[in-house]
Chain A
Amino acid sequence: GQQVMQIPQYQHVQEGEDFTTYCNSSTTLSNIQWYKQRPGGHPVFLIQLVKSGEVKKQKRLTFQFGEAKKNSSLHITATQTTDVGTYFCAGNTGQEGTSYGKLTFGQGTILTVHP
């Protein structure tokens, strides 16, 4: 079945350092979504990428979708303590129809920021 692999599993950084998490799929994705889960909380949607090579920015966060639509990355510039949490990518390989609504989540990257 479809697999979405995410690395690294853990990342510890000092406040102010940059952070990147990578997501790779075994199959071509229709789109990819990114979610953030604060400790003890639930996943919250951050962004969606649909087009090949797409790059989107949200303040200090930069999201990229690979040219082949099989990989994606999330980069945070100058991390802050508020960035602590688990970041998940979620890929959709579905064609219009029965499987179109299912996302496959990566394992997540747990980010710790030391002040």
Chain B
Amino acid sequence: NAGVTQTPKFRVLKTGQSMTLLCAQDMNHEYMYWYRQDPGMGLRLIHYSVGEGTTAKGEVPDGYNVSRLKKQNFLLGLESAAPSQTSVYFCASSWTSGLDEQFFGPGTRLTVL
């Protein structure tokens, strides 16, 4: 099993460009999450999903959109990238509730110039 995979691993964007980050998990998990990690800020939740077809806002959702059309995939979109969105993005998944451990993907390092 691959666990949680993320595509791409690295990306450089210019301000105003758009892109989609793809997360895939092969563990049949219901819950999926998108976090961003910035120095000194820990991991901050952007959006999450409690099942196929559902999404919800996390702590820092502005400037991002998500979709969960298939249970195994969770997409994070940036419609108009800004330098403040330069970060490392991690996807995670878990079986169900907050009592379950989260499995993280390898991360995507995004730079917005």
- Interfacial residues, chain A to chain B (CB-CB below 8 A): 1, 6, 9, 30-31, 33, 41-45, 48, 50, 88, 90, 92, 94, 96, 98, 100-108
List the 5 closest A-B pairs by CB distance, nearest first.
A92-B98, A45-B101, A105-B43, A107-B42, A42-B104
Which residues of chain B have C-beta atoms less than 8 A from A30's C-beta? 98-99
- Does B45 touch A at the CB level, under 8 Å? yes
Which residues of chain B have C-beta atoms less than 8 A from A94's C-beta? 97-98
A99 to chain B, nearest CB (A): 8
Q: List 23 A-B contacts (CB under 8 A).
A: A9-B40, A41-B106, A42-B90, A42-B105, A48-B99, A50-B99, A92-B98, A94-B98, A101-B48, A101-B50, A101-B94, A101-B98, A102-B45, A102-B48, A102-B58, A103-B45, A103-B98, A103-B102, A104-B45, A105-B42, A107-B40, A107-B42, A108-B42
**A101 partner, pick from B35, B41, B44, B96, beta carbons under 8 A:** B96
- Interfacial residues, chain B to chain A (CB-CB below 8 A): 31, 35, 40-45, 48, 50, 56, 58-59, 90, 92, 94, 96-99, 101-107
Q: From A2, which residue of chain B is reached at the shortest CB distance?
A: B59
In Å, the complex CA distance between A98 and B33 comes to: 14
* B99 adjacent to A88 (CB under 8 Å): no
What is the predominant secondary structure among interface residues of chain A facing chain B? loop
Which residues of chain B have C-beta atoms less than 8 A from A1's C-beta? 59
B2 to chain A, nearest CB (A): 13
Which residues of chain A have C-beta atoms less than 8 A from B50's C-beta? 101
Most chain A beta-carbon contacts within 10 A, residue among B35, B94, B97 = B97
In the complex where A101-B96, A105-B43 touch, is A45 in contact with B90 (Cβ < 8 A)?
no
In Å, the complex CA distance between A94 and B101 comes to: 15
* B107 adjacent to A42 (CB under 8 Å): yes
Which residues of chain A have C-beta atoms less than 8 A from B102's C-beta? 33, 43, 45, 103
Which residues of chain B have C-beta atoms less than 8 A from A104's C-beta? 45, 59
Which residues of chain A have C-beta atoms less than 8 A from B35's C-beta? 105
* B40 adjacent to A42 (CB under 8 Å): no
Q: From A47, which residue of chain B is reached at the shortest CB distance?
A: B101
* A44 adjacent to B96 (CB under 8 Å): no
